[in-house]
Chain A
Amino acid sequence: MSLTKDRVMELETLCRRFRTDTIALLHRLQTGHAGGSLSVCEILTVLYMECANISVDNRCAPDRDRVVLSKGHAAPMLYRCLSEKGFFPLEELETLRQPGSRLQGHPSMGKTPGVELSTGPLGLGLSAGVGMACANRLQGNGACVFVVLGDGELDEGTVWEAAMAAAKFRCDRLIAIVDWNKVQLDGMTRDVMPMGDLRGKWSTFGWNVLECDGHDIAQLYDAIQTAKGLADGKPCVILANTVKGKGVSFMENTNLYHGKAIDDDEFSRAMLELEGAENA
């Protein structure tokens, strides 16, 4: 069953809100990663609002689904989703990256309710996801583990060590989602480290491979539900085609807004576009 048109529209509205809130927050604080937060918006929204069995009520249940944000620098969007789920009040977002805050610059699992793994150094999340998937099976529960990776992050050899392990251990409840925005920190991935045939790579590592538009709620939902339904002993990766900086034209498809503070002029221009989209 796909999402209804109405539900898709609701989630689209939510995503526009999340983008506006996140850019406004990062501008107020003058710190935080904008580009990778904007590109992962729909992926996290569909996971948290629809596909992953995660809530404040089941947050300690051993058989809850888990979402691991392996590209931890997109923490602002993760925190926005978690606050929407009720893990902490919306106002707490104002403490992001400030001393004493539960909302660290990169996700910290002991500190932030709803965060399933501390991340920040890239290339660690998929391995932890394999461990979680194996643990779930040992305990006889069928929970899903979703690991969200950056495409630059795939440069790390450990990602491919984890990919082999997931295939060997037949982790078919492990679903990796690649935020495939074609940009990393120093530039375009094709210049910094060309990926070659990404679909072919995952598939020769023993994974099912799905591909979708990572900003299309309906497509993302269908891909994730399909991945959940594949119980064929193979892990599944969803290559989500995205745009780094999505939603703010001058932040799109560039590394310039990966981690740079947003100045006042950039902020007003961004808000015109984001609020324009919200009110359209």
Chain B
Amino acid sequence: MPEALRDVYGESLRRYGLANDRVVVLDADLATSTKSVLFGKACPDRFFDVGIAEANMVSMAAGFAACGYIPFVNTFATFIASIGAVSAKCLIGYSHLNVRLMGGNNGLTGGYDGATHHCLDDINVMRGIPGMLVTSPCDPVQMDWLVQTLIDDYRGPAYVSISRMGAGPVYKAGERFTLGKAKRVCAGADATVFACGLSVPRALEAVDRLRQEGLSIALWDMFTLKPLDEEAVRDAARETGAIVAVEEHSVLGGLGTAVAEVLAESGLAVPFRRVGIRDRYTESGSYPQLVEAFGLGVDAIADAVRQTVARKKGARG
């Protein structure tokens, strides 16, 4: 069983949070689920469970940040990006406060709980807030690096979309990343896939499968959704001539939208395809069932890539 990203997150937050006494951690009665409870147990003085009161929690975090602390705010992504949105926008983003908004159970990882607990719009909401760093890690190594970076290096507001599940791993221990720079997972010449979160390991499987069919596909991990690595998008379009964006999010306003914006404004009219949820409500089911049912699985990604490559001018067949 791959390690669940929420468990990695909880452990990293405990480790790095303990070492920096400016870190405070807030949760809204989901600490046992988001895993912020690990920090809470280790450091009760700097842990604040506010009960089921997300609006209060996110604004409290703004207050902590105004006094020089680095608050980590935890609840499900769907609640932070909705109930927490006004504080994220008007308190935290507007004043560029040092708050870390940690959205758990992202995408479909709320599984059986159904549509009200899935989150397909957090990236869209957070991308719209000026100055907000927007990220979604794809594996344990990256998750751990990100928590450390958000404590030690980054200044300003940040949103992290966190999976309840695990997959991969994609990276070897000790791998380094740069905020705002896409990470190349593998090289290829026929098309480029951009992905984020758990779509990265699924896309990697698809790319491996396509290689056996003779297709050479590049895969880039777009773990920073904002600021987006626009250069990586333009280079990929020029070098491989076909782009597919894969995300466990609505196709409206997420990674696919962001990549499309860059392509369109750069006049790079290459074949392009978004793989994501097509503007509809989801439903209850196990996570693997939902990934398949909503067209985000390895087969669906491979199909999308094949079709996009086939649309290239002068493509064989």
Contact = CB atoms under 8 A, between A and B. Distances in A.
Nearest to B114: A105
A72 interface: yes
A106 B52 CA distance: 17
Contacts of B90: none
Given A193-B50, A193-B51, A186 B284 contact: no
Interface string B34-65: 00010000000000011111011000000000
User: Which A-B residue pairs are the 7 nearest by beta carbons?
Assistant: A193-B51, A120-B116, A155-B51, A105-B114, A99-B285, A155-B52, A105-B284
Interface string B3-30: 0000000000000000000000001111
B113 A185 contact: no
Question: Chain A's interface: helix, strand, loop or mixed, by majority?
Answer: loop
Interface of B: 27-33, 37, 49-53, 55-56, 78-79, 82-83, 111-117, 283-285, 289-290, 293
Interface in A177-206: 184-186, 189, 192-193
B199 to A, nearest CB: 20
Contacts of B56: 157
A106 B117 CA distance: 9
B53 A193 contact: yes
Interface in A9-44: 31-32
Contacts of B79: 121
A122 interface: yes
Given A99-B283, A121-B79, A186-B29, A106 B113 contact: yes
A118 interface: yes
A108 to B, nearest CB: 7
A122 B29 CA distance: 11
Contacts of A31: 111-112
Contact of A157 (B29, B55, B78, B115): B55
Contact of A104 (B51, B115, B289): B115
22 contacts: A97-B114, A97-B284, A98-B284, A99-B284, A99-B285, A99-B293, A101-B283, A104-B114, A105-B113, A105-B284, A106-B114, A121-B78, A152-B29, A155-B29, A155-B50, A185-B32, A185-B33, A185-B52, A186-B32, A193-B29, A193-B53, A255-B32
B114 A120 contact: yes
A273 interface: no
A155 B53 contact: yes
A67 B314 CA distance: 62
A108 B118 CA distance: 14
A192 B53 contact: no
Given A104-B284, A184-B51, A186-B27, A99 B289 contact: yes
